[in-house]
Structure 1
Amino acid sequence: MNSDIGRFSTAPGDTETPIERPAEEQKPPDLVYGSTEEFLHEQLLPTYVRDVDGRAAKWCAEWYFHPEAVSRVEALWRAWEHLRLDGATGISVWWKDHADHHMSVLLDPRGPFYKCDIKTHRNPEHLEPKKAPEGWFPDVRTQGT
């Protein structure tokens, strides 16, 4: 005897449940962009348009020589790839929490490109901190073993 429940029906012997695959067998979603650079050129810069005049905003044509910039653009790419899958508010969250924040830092005239201009790269001065005295910052990976 069949019993109809909405548009689903059950018949004797239809007790098979969907097989759940172990996490290691689940394929992650395909990426839209294959690299940080592709994301920057194909998505980020074409949509995040600003007047980069050197006074209110700065950019370096050789942005990839700036470790902070590379890290921030990669963070933007990875967050975009993840949040694009949320069809409700994902892209809004990406703009608000990621793009606006990181791009404000990157484009800031006192940011990572402070010595550069749109056409000329100049190596940034890196902070050269002294090492703290021995024992001030113990390696937590080795504690308790």
Structure 2
Amino acid sequence: MTNDIGLFAPAPGSGDSGVSAEKPAEEPKAPELVYGSAEEFLHEQLLPTYVRDVDNRALKWCIEWYFHPEALSRIEALWRAWEHLRLDGATGMSVWWRDHADHHMRVLLDPRGPFHKCDMQKHRDPEHLEPKKAPAGWFPDVRGIQP
């Protein structure tokens, strides 16, 4: 077996710095978003394709969904995942439906989910969980610690 380490490195003293005279390859341009916001995605893509009979018993929705922090975060996650997975022409959309849409929509529409106090016509502010602070030192700030 041969040792291939350094196989393509310039020979010492050859004067070849390894820098190509060709123009460096441009980095690929990031694909443009289809939707400009989570709200646009919700109105243009998600709700027109994810159709359910919301009866306020088995499924709940709030007409003012944007007042619910959990809903905002989940819809933002759905949008970002959709924008990423749409680029996978093989299984991207299947993965999005299975791992993202089905999961998050099941939680959002659950009668005990974030819209549990609301209905299709009336928003009621959600009650936030009130945490108690942990004893000092239990959760040190690790932002400045290098791994």
Answer whether TM exceeds 0.5 for this pair: yes
Aligned-residue CA RMSD (Å): 1.7
After superposition, the C-alpha distances for 1:98-140 in whole angstroms (9 at most, x for unaligned) are 0000000000000000000011000011001110111111111
Equivalent AA in structure 2 for residue 130 of structure 1: K
Q: Which residue of 2 aligns with 1:45?
A: 47
Alignment coverage as a number of residue pairs: 126
Q: Which residue of 2 aligns with 1:135?
A: 137
- Which residue of the other structure, out of 96, 117, 120, is the alignment partner of 2:119? 117
Report the CA distance shift for 1:53/1:27 in structure 2 as closer, same or farther (over 3 A): same
Q: Which residue of 2 aligns with 1:76?
A: 78
With structure 2 as the length reference, what TM-score do the two structures score? 0.81
Shift of 1:18: 8.8
Alignment of 1:47-62 (within 5 A): 47-62=49-64
With structure 1 as the length reference, what TM-score do the two structures score? 0.82
Gaps of 5+ in 1: 1-16
Tell me, in whole angstroms, the C-alpha distance in 2 between the residues paired with 1:18 and 1:132.
Answer: 56
After superposition, the C-alpha distances for 1:14-57 in whole angstroms (9 at most, x for unaligned) are xxx89522x4xx32101110111000000000000001001110
Question: Where is the strand percentage greater, Structure 1 or Structure 2?
Answer: 1
Gaps of 5+ in 2: 1-21
Tell me, in whole angstroms, the C-alpha distance in 1 between the residues paired with 2:47 and 2:143.
Answer: 40
